[in-house]
């Protein structure tokens, strides 16, 4: 059970928070901050707080536009080499946007080649269609859902599934052995799939079957990583923001550990 970088806090702060709230490791998202892509500095934080880097998220945010250069293939390769240098087993990647035509055309081949060259799993993350008013469009190529195209490994993000109008357990079952990585969070399942509201709620506060997903993983002998990716800074009602952040992370790890030890009845996958 690991947590991803606590934006906009520093990398070392992410390790500190992960340690004090009970996580087993950290996923590093590569951003414009050089500390997220410097293996020496990451190893120093890892050693200081006694937590390994379990996975690396390739640069995808607008603020990371120039991280690892501008060539998308190079970004994936350098992310995988960083993961290998840190001993991390997985790199999380997003499918390309349709307007990234050159990258999109060779994306699946690039993922396989980089994985083979580095020995690191490149797990393609499920995204969601965008909706602007009455217009709904899949802006990703070959699509927003890795279940629909030929990849060897996938990441399941439960909040993204909610925005896409997809039941997360059905998606986990449909992915089968290709499911290698999970971004643990919650969301309110959309009745009109699409949009840009990606909630990343604390598990158990939305409508996704998060507990069932975790129990399914535990019961199937799954061996990937479960990474908390939640908005953990909600400090309404006058709550101190630091206390709220710590409370959100502790509730997340407690939820995960409880349900990874549970068993729920199996459900057959349904087609999207």
Long-range contacts of 248-253 (CB under 8 A, 24+ apart): 248/202, 249/3, 249/17, 249/18, 249/21, 249/23, 250/21, 250/22, 251/202, 251/203, 251/204, 252/3, 252/184, 252/202, 252/203, 252/228, 253/1, 253/3, 253/21, 253/22, 253/23, 253/228
Indicate the pTM of the whole model: 0.92
pLDDT digits (tens, 9 = 90+) for 63-89: 788 899 999 999 999 999 999 999 999
What pLDDT was estimated at residue 271? 42
Q: How far apart are the C-alpha atoms of 167 and 178, rounded to whole Å?
A: 17
Average pLDDT rounded to a whole number, residues 94-103: 95
Pick from 157, 139, 153, 60: nearest CA to 108: 153
> What kind and span of H or E run contains 72?
helix 72-86
Dihedral sign, CA of 173, 1, 223, 78? positive
Q: Is the pLDDT of residue 272 over 80?
A: no
Pick from 205, 176, 197: nearest CA to 129: 197
Q: Is the pLDDT of residue 156 over 90?
A: yes
What pLDDT was estimated at residue 240? 77
| Third-level CATH fold of 2-260 | TIM Barrel (3.20.20)
Neighbours of 101 (CB within 10 A): 10
Average pLDDT rounded to a whole number, residues 179-204: 92
Q: Is the pLDDT of residue 264 over 80?
A: no
Which pair of tokens denotes residue 26?
């950290």
Q: Which residue has the higher pLDDT, 238 or 13?
A: 13
What pLDDT was estimated at residue 135? 85
What pLDDT was estimated at residue 270? 47
Least confident of 20-29, 155-164, 190-199: 190-199
pLDDT digits (tens, 9 = 90+) for 200-254: 999 999 999 999 999 999 999 999 999 999 987 555 566 677 888 899 999 999 9
Average pLDDT rounded to a whole number, residues 101-119: 97
What ranges do the domains of the chain cover? 2-260
Q: Is the pLDDT of residue 144 over 80?
A: yes
């Amino acid at each position: 059970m690991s947590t991803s970088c606590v934006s906009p806090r520093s990398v070392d702060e992410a390790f500190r928070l992960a340690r004090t709230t009970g996580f087993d490791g950290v996923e590093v998202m590569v951003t414009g901050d050089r500390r997220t892509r410097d293996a020496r500095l990451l190893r120093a934080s890892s050693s200081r707080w006694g937590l390994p880097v379990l996975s690396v998220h390739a640069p995808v945010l607008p603020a990371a536009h120039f991280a690892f250069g501008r060539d998308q293939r190079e970004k994936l390769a350098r992310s995988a080499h960083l993961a290998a240098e840190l001993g991390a087993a997985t790199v999380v990647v997003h499918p390309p946007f349709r307007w990234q035509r050159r990258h999109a055309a060779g994306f699946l081949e690039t993922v396989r080649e980089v994985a083979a060259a580095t020995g690191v799993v490149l797990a393609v993350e499920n995204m969601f269609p965008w909706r602007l008013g009455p217009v709904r469009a899949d802006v990703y190529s070959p699509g927003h859902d890795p279940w629909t195209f030929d990849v060897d490994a996938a990441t399941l993000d439960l909040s993204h599934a909610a925005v896409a109008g997809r039941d997360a357990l059905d998606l986990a079952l449909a992915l089968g052995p290709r499911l290698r990585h999970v971004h643990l969070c919650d969301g309110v399942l959309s009745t009109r799939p699409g949009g840009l509201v990606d909630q990343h709620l604390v598990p158990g506060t939305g409508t996704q079957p998060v507990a069932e997903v975790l129990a399914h993983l535990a019961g199937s002998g799954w061996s990937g990583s479960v990474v908390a990716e939640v908005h953990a800074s909600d400090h309404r009602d006058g709550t101190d923001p630091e206390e709220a952040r710590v409370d959100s992370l502790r509730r997340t790890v407690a939820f995960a550990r409880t349900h990874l030890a549970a068993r729920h009845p199996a459900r057959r996958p349904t087609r999207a």
